[in-house]
A and B are shown apart, each in its own frame.
Chain A
Amino acid sequence: MSTLLDPAAIAKGEALGLIARGIVEGYRVGEHRSPFHGFAIEFTQHREYTTGDDLRHLDWKVLGRTDRYYIKQYEQDTNFVAHLVVDGSESMTYGSEKLTKLDYAKVLAACLAYIVLGQSDAVSVNIFDTEVRERQERTDNRGKIHEIMHRLASFQATEGTQTSKVLHDLAASLRSRSIVVLISDLFDDEESLQKSIERIRFQGTEVIVFHVLDPAEINFTFTGTVKFVGMEGGPTLETSPASIRKSYLAAFEAFCKRMRALCDRCACHYVLCNTAVPLDETLSEYLAFRQNHRSR
């Protein structure tokens, strides 16, 4: 699907919406349950099973203990809110091919917004660098999807990153039963990032981290002599990549491991997104994992 991700199309709101819909609809074929279903639903009571009830709601534990058939009943509270936090810093503009990490993040955010709104939950979109630059306030109106797409598509990155600050600010405004979806390359201060995620988690909010990386960053396949100009004010380094490849890969792999460990410590979901891997593949893989995880 990533081959279909045309940066020019992503820059247009309608086209981005179509891309996201295409990916999501493709995933939904044959599915009957939303992977996010039940996040904001509270269990209230049991009642006796009657003919015609959905066996999926049968409480098997009670059946096991008492040999009686009870159906679990849920309180349909309010819709949950999915906060899509998209890193729009300069480092996200890197792409070894035509597709940049930011393009990828935009499509990913669009897909998630499409899914959440599609199941009548609320979504908010925050695109940030050193602070939130573009915001779509919380909405459960499906009609707002086009506005969301437009905001995503039109964003242009220019600045550095302060993910932790943005997450701190977001934490202050969070209600309960929210999901924060962070889409970033995580090239930021790791310690402050951890603190900010811990704070969100402390509030009981689930956090999902989509770690977006370019294949060149993962594999570092440069040859000859290369002058690397650091983004976001980083230094300029001239070197022979082949001579330090092994060392670089070790450092980068350690970074990825630290990020995964950070997420594990904070009980977040960590999803590594290689922009060379089709988005639908990455997304469906994660959603399937999530569905299985929740069903257990």
Chain B
Amino acid sequence: MAFLVPAVLAGAAAIAAPIAIHLLNKTQVKVVRWAAIRFLQESLQKNQRRLQIEDLILLLLRCLFIILLALAFARLVLNPGAAQEALATGPMVAVVLVDQSASMGQSNGFQTLFDEAKTAAGKFIANLAGGSQVALFLVGDRVNQAVPCPTANLPLVRRTLEVAEPTDGSSDMVAATRLALETLKPFAGSRKEIFVFSDNQVSAWPQIDQIQTLLAEAPGVKLTVVNPSATSGADNLAITTLKAESGVPAAGRLSGFLVEVSNFGTVPISGVRVTLAVDDGPPVDETVLGTVEPGKSQVVRLNARFAKPGFYTLRAAIPADRMPVDNERSVAVQVIEHMNVAVIEGGSAAKDKRDGFFLVNGLAPVSPARRAEYYLKIETAPPAWLQTADLSRQEILFLANVAKLDPAASKAVEKYVLAGGSLVIFPGALTTPAVLNDDPVLAPLLPAKLGTRKTGGPLAWQSGKFTHPVTSLWNDPNNGNLSSVRATSWFPLTPTPSAQTIVAFSDGTPAAVEAPYGKGRVVLFSTAATTDGNNFPIHPNFVPFLQRLIGHLSPRTSSESLVLAPGAVFQGRVSHDLVKREVSILTPGSKGQPRPAGKVEATNQDAVVRYHDTARTGAYRMIVTGNEKPVAAFAVQTDAKESDLRMLDPEQLAILKRGEAVAVSEIGVTPSDKVRRELWVVFLGLAFVVFLTEMVLAHRFSFSR
């Protein structure tokens, strides 16, 4: 036998209270000279013994009541060994963090890890000692404070937990822990604990080193990390990337899509079938992967052909495994019928020496006979054309070796870029840097200042480490090499702060830069669009480079803008004719049944559709009532890091353990089991019985007297 709170036994000294009261009453005697003493004497003689016995019984009951209360609160346990354990089961103020990320969706074939976490957390909350207060945070892309403040209403917390669903997002447990510590801060003097129910995925603890600092700043707070399933963190094959290969998806053209399949397991996997489907249709292309080594990825190209222009969603899939969320990945594309591109040539040389010759052939790499059918409609023109042309019809405007633009043309170009057009500038022999740099209209557009043309070299382009989307393809040497591009004559570029380098020379100076301006973007090369001073136009990667550049610059076809993270808000521009029309949406969980998504809204210049509920990954297609074709489409993709189910390694767990943190696979003996071994309930019950007896007897005795 042992007492968990022996200090409370001192409370048994309170039995002195009734005795003291009794004695105090004796000392505070009022003296009365009494005439009718014989009646008093008569009563006393008759009742004295009975009174003494009754008083003694009441005194004993009152003392017993106090002793029983003291024993109850001192928490007598029969098994002394359990005393220390049971101490940890007392009332506490706790914040329960439940990992809601996509990785918690991994299943053991019977239930998901999230279900197991909910069950474990629910059981834990149910077994907390009376008087405990609990807050519940569901940790997804953001911390959902489902029960923001610790409450003693534990059934409410459990009900909230029961209705919680996993998200397709990622999680940041360190940030959630920081928030939990803030929540516990006001509860001074209480036993404070944070319980994390998570799969201990490495990506969920991005800055695990900070845990020590956080816990050091909040002394007395204990962090317990609970992984409710020992089977988590096993092998996982995932589609980690799905994107358009390059160029612009156009109707009738075969469009390539890159599917990256990653093996996060520990054994090589081979023979995986990868399929690509358009919208809700059957697979349009498929392939079987070779061996994917552990920790490695394999990228395959699958093709799709779109019959008509419009919005399409594509879904790449691999066979189902224990984590379903990353067995599919979707992307949305806008397929165009054609795209207008204008090439402004500054010089007036012979046909094959024209400044736009290589550009035109690179943009439309088909025979002249078939060029009319090609989706890119290229128009070449002199600079004067800019003054009269309707630039709003052009999606991309190339300036090749343009010496100078007159003010009207400059204004037209500026207006075009501000409205969302893309401008690509290739300098040339006619280009005078000072003229461009000092042009009051064009100078602000430029992503870099042009220096005086240099001749020398040859200067090669960089060989890797590309960060720009246009050139990132060549980070993989299998796709060719841009380092074989050489320049013997170039204009040194000094980028503006907002500029981004597309490609640089091997000495680190920019070869091409890009910067936004208004709603549009401007790209400036340091070399000519001809073979004047560089070999880029005749380089094998010139055509793919241009195609990727077009795909990147085209505001309509950029598939990247149609891919969102879970929880992000989608906003897409639609035709003004559709303003105030009802919009419905096909979502990943809607099984072909569109659901209302509001109306087309009119903004300053555009008509837009918005959608907020993007928690689930997959393809979303928005349809205006009366239209068959989607007016907008987008895809929600989960963070590829979520597919990496590796758990915190022993070293990382040690980081947790070094502080006031404990990582366990389960919470062990439930608090209620420990409480059952205690006798406080018995003592409390006995005290209640004694209290009732005392009340009844006191009433009865006083009545009989």
Asked if B30 and A230 make an inter-chain contact with CB atoms under 8 angstroms apart, the answer reads no
Asked if A231 and B33 make an inter-chain contact with CB atoms under 8 angstroms apart, the answer reads yes
Chain B interface, DSSP helix/strand/loop, else mixed: helix
Asked if A230 and B37 make an inter-chain contact with CB atoms under 8 angstroms apart, the answer reads yes
Among A92, A187, A224, A231, contact of B25 (Cβ-Cβ < 8 Å): A224
**Nearest CB in chain B: distance from A252 CB, A:** 5
Task: Identify the 3 closest CB pairs spanning chains A and B, nearest first.
Answer: A230-B37, A234-B37, A91-B35
Q: Is B28 an interface residue (CB 8 A)?
A: yes
Taking A217-B36, A225-B26, A230-B41 as known contacts, 12 extra A-B pairs with beta carbons closer than 8 A to each other, sorted by chain A number, are A94-B33, A94-B34, A217-B35, A225-B25, A227-B29, A230-B37, A231-B35, A231-B37, A240-B25, A244-B51, A247-B47, A251-B42
Among B31, B32, B35, B47, contact of A244 (Cβ-Cβ < 8 Å): B47
Contact of A243 with B32 at beta-carbon distance under 8 Å, contacts A187-B38, A228-B40, A251-B42 already known: no
Contact of A225 with B29 at beta-carbon distance under 8 Å, contacts A235-B41, A245-B705, A246-B705 already known: yes
Asked if A222 and B32 make an inter-chain contact with CB atoms under 8 angstroms apart, the answer reads yes
Contact with B along A207-239 (1 / 0, CB 8 A): 000000010010000101111111110110111
Contact of A94 with B35 at beta-carbon distance under 8 Å, contacts A240-B25, A247-B705, A248-B43 already known: yes
Q: Is A185 an interface residue (CB 8 A)?
A: yes
- When C-beta atoms are compared, the residue in chain A nearest to B33 turns out to be A229
Q: Is A43 an interface residue (CB 8 A)?
A: no
Q: Is B44 an interface residue (CB 8 A)?
A: yes
Q: Is B478 an interface residue (CB 8 A)?
A: no
List, in ascending order, chain A residues with CB within 8 A of B658's CB: none
Asked if B40 and A237 make an inter-chain contact with CB atoms under 8 angstroms apart, the answer reads yes
A252–B35 alpha-carbon span in the complex (Å): 12
Asked if A252 and B32 make an inter-chain contact with CB atoms under 8 angstroms apart, the answer reads no
Among A90, A225, A252, contact of B39 (Cβ-Cβ < 8 Å): A252
A231–B705 alpha-carbon span in the complex (Å): 25
Asked if A244 and B40 make an inter-chain contact with CB atoms under 8 angstroms apart, the answer reads yes
Among B28, B33, B34, B46, contact of A247 (Cβ-Cβ < 8 Å): B46
List, in ascending order, chain A residues with CB within 8 A of B388's CB: none
Asked if B43 and A251 make an inter-chain contact with CB atoms under 8 angstroms apart, the answer reads yes
List, in ascending order, chain A residues with CB within 8 A of B38's CB: 187, 230, 234
Q: Is B111 an interface residue (CB 8 A)?
A: no
Asked if A225 and B30 make an inter-chain contact with CB atoms under 8 angstroms apart, the answer reads yes
Contact of A228 with B42 at beta-carbon distance under 8 Å, contacts A237-B37, A246-B705 already known: no
- When C-beta atoms are compared, the residue in chain B nearest to A96 turns out to be B32
Asked if A246 and B704 make an inter-chain contact with CB atoms under 8 angstroms apart, the answer reads yes
List, in ascending order, chain B residues with CB within 8 A of A217's CB: 35-36
A191–B46 alpha-carbon span in the complex (Å): 22
Interface centre among B33, B40, B702 (most CB of A within 10 A): B40
Interface centre among B39, B41, B47, B705 (most CB of A within 10 A): B39
Asked if A255 and B39 make an inter-chain contact with CB atoms under 8 angstroms apart, the answer reads yes
Asked if B40 and A248 make an inter-chain contact with CB atoms under 8 angstroms apart, the answer reads yes
Asked if B42 and A187 make an inter-chain contact with CB atoms under 8 angstroms apart, the answer reads no
Asked if B34 and A228 make an inter-chain contact with CB atoms under 8 angstroms apart, the answer reads yes
Asked if A229 and B28 make an inter-chain contact with CB atoms under 8 angstroms apart, the answer reads no
Q: Is A174 an interface residue (CB 8 A)?
A: no
Q: Is A5 an interface residue (CB 8 A)?
A: no
- How large, as a class, is the contact surface on chain A? 35 or more
Contact of A252 with B31 at beta-carbon distance under 8 Å, contacts A225-B26, A244-B44 already known: no
List, in ascending order, chain B residues with CB within 8 A of A225's CB: 25-26, 28-30
- When C-beta atoms are compared, the residue in chain B nearest to A253 turns out to be B39
Interface centre among A214, A224, A234 (most CB of B within 10 A): A234
Contact with B along A240-266 (1 / 0, CB 8 A): 101111111011100100000000000
A255–B38 alpha-carbon span in the complex (Å): 11
- When C-beta atoms are compared, the residue in chain B nearest to A217 turns out to be B36
A101–B36 alpha-carbon span in the complex (Å): 12
Give A residues with C-beta under 8 Å from B.
90-92, 94, 101, 185, 187, 214, 217, 222, 224-232, 234-235, 237-240, 242-248, 250-252, 255
Contact of A226 with B30 at beta-carbon distance under 8 Å, contacts A244-B44, A247-B705 already known: yes
In residues 4-31 of chain B, which contact A (Cβ within 8 Å)?
Answer: 25-26, 28-31
**Nearest CB in chain B: distance from A160 CB, A:** 11
A227–B32 alpha-carbon span in the complex (Å): 6
A251–B39 alpha-carbon span in the complex (Å): 6
A245–B29 alpha-carbon span in the complex (Å): 17
A231–B26 alpha-carbon span in the complex (Å): 22
**Nearest CB in chain A: distance from B494 CB, A:** 101
List, in ascending order, chain A residues with CB within 8 A of B42's CB: 251
List, in ascending order, chain A residues with CB within 8 A of B36's CB: 91, 187, 217, 252
Contact with A along B437-462 (1 / 0, CB 8 A): 00000000000000000000000000
A245–B701 alpha-carbon span in the complex (Å): 12
List, in ascending order, chain B residues with CB within 8 A of A250's CB: 43
List, in ascending order, chain A residues with CB within 8 A of B31's CB: 226-227, 229
A291–B704 alpha-carbon span in the complex (Å): 43
Among A187, A227, A246, A255, contact of B35 (Cβ-Cβ < 8 Å): A187
**Nearest CB in chain A: distance from B52 CB, A:** 10
**Nearest CB in chain B: distance from A127 CB, A:** 17
Asked if A231 and B34 make an inter-chain contact with CB atoms under 8 angstroms apart, the answer reads yes
**Nearest CB in chain A: distance from B374 CB, A:** 113
List, in ascending order, chain B residues with CB within 8 A of A226's CB: 29-32
A91–B29 alpha-carbon span in the complex (Å): 22
**Nearest CB in chain B: distance from A97 CB, A:** 13
Asked if A227 and B43 make an inter-chain contact with CB atoms under 8 angstroms apart, the answer reads no
**Nearest CB in chain B: distance from A259 CB, A:** 13
- When C-beta atoms are compared, the residue in chain B nearest to A255 turns out to be B39
A225–B235 alpha-carbon span in the complex (Å): 84
List, in ascending order, chain A residues with CB within 8 A of B43's CB: 244, 247-248, 250-251
List, in ascending order, chain A residues with CB within 8 A of B39's CB: 248, 251-252, 255
**Nearest CB in chain A: distance from B515 CB, A:** 96
**Nearest CB in chain A: distance from B46 CB, A:** 6
A and B contact pairs by CB, cutoff 8 A, 29 listed: A94-B33, A94-B34, A94-B35, A101-B35, A222-B30, A225-B25, A225-B26, A226-B31, A226-B32, A227-B29, A228-B32, A229-B33, A230-B34, A230-B38, A231-B33, A234-B38, A234-B41, A237-B37, A238-B29, A239-B40, A243-B702, A244-B40, A244-B43, A244-B44, A244-B47, A247-B705, A248-B40, A248-B43, A251-B43
Contact with A along B50-69 (1 / 0, CB 8 A): 01000100000000000000
**Nearest CB in chain A: distance from B547 CB, A:** 106
A228–B30 alpha-carbon span in the complex (Å): 8
A192–B705 alpha-carbon span in the complex (Å): 32
A247–B25 alpha-carbon span in the complex (Å): 21
Interface centre among A235, A239, A240, A243 (most CB of B within 10 A): A243
List, in ascending order, chain B residues with CB within 8 A of A229's CB: 31-34
List, in ascending order, chain A residues with CB within 8 A of B28's CB: 224-225
**Nearest CB in chain A: distance from B53 CB, A:** 12
- When C-beta atoms are compared, the residue in chain B nearest to A241 turns out to be B40
A243–B43 alpha-carbon span in the complex (Å): 10
**Nearest CB in chain A: distance from B678 CB, A:** 40
**Nearest CB in chain A: distance from B697 CB, A:** 13
List, in ascending order, chain B residues with CB within 8 A of A92's CB: 35
**Nearest CB in chain B: distance from A87 CB, A:** 11
**Nearest CB in chain A: distance from B534 CB, A:** 114
List, in ascending order, chain B residues with CB within 8 A of A101's CB: 35
Contact of A237 with B41 at beta-carbon distance under 8 Å, contacts A244-B47, A247-B47, A247-B705 already known: yes
List, in ascending order, chain B residues with CB within 8 A of A94's CB: 33-35
**Nearest CB in chain B: distance from A261 CB, A:** 17
List, in ascending order, chain A residues with CB within 8 A of B35's CB: 90-92, 94, 101, 185, 187, 214, 217, 231-232
List, in ascending order, chain B residues with CB within 8 A of A251's CB: 39, 42-43
**Nearest CB in chain B: distance from A163 CB, A:** 14
List, in ascending order, chain B residues with CB within 8 A of A234's CB: 34, 37-38, 41
List, in ascending order, chain B residues with CB within 8 A of A240's CB: 25
A240–B42 alpha-carbon span in the complex (Å): 14
List, in ascending order, chain A residues with CB within 8 A of B40's CB: 228, 237, 239, 244, 248
Among A230, A231, A242, A248, contact of B702 (Cβ-Cβ < 8 Å): A242
Among A228, A231, A243, A248, contact of B51 (Cβ-Cβ < 8 Å): A243
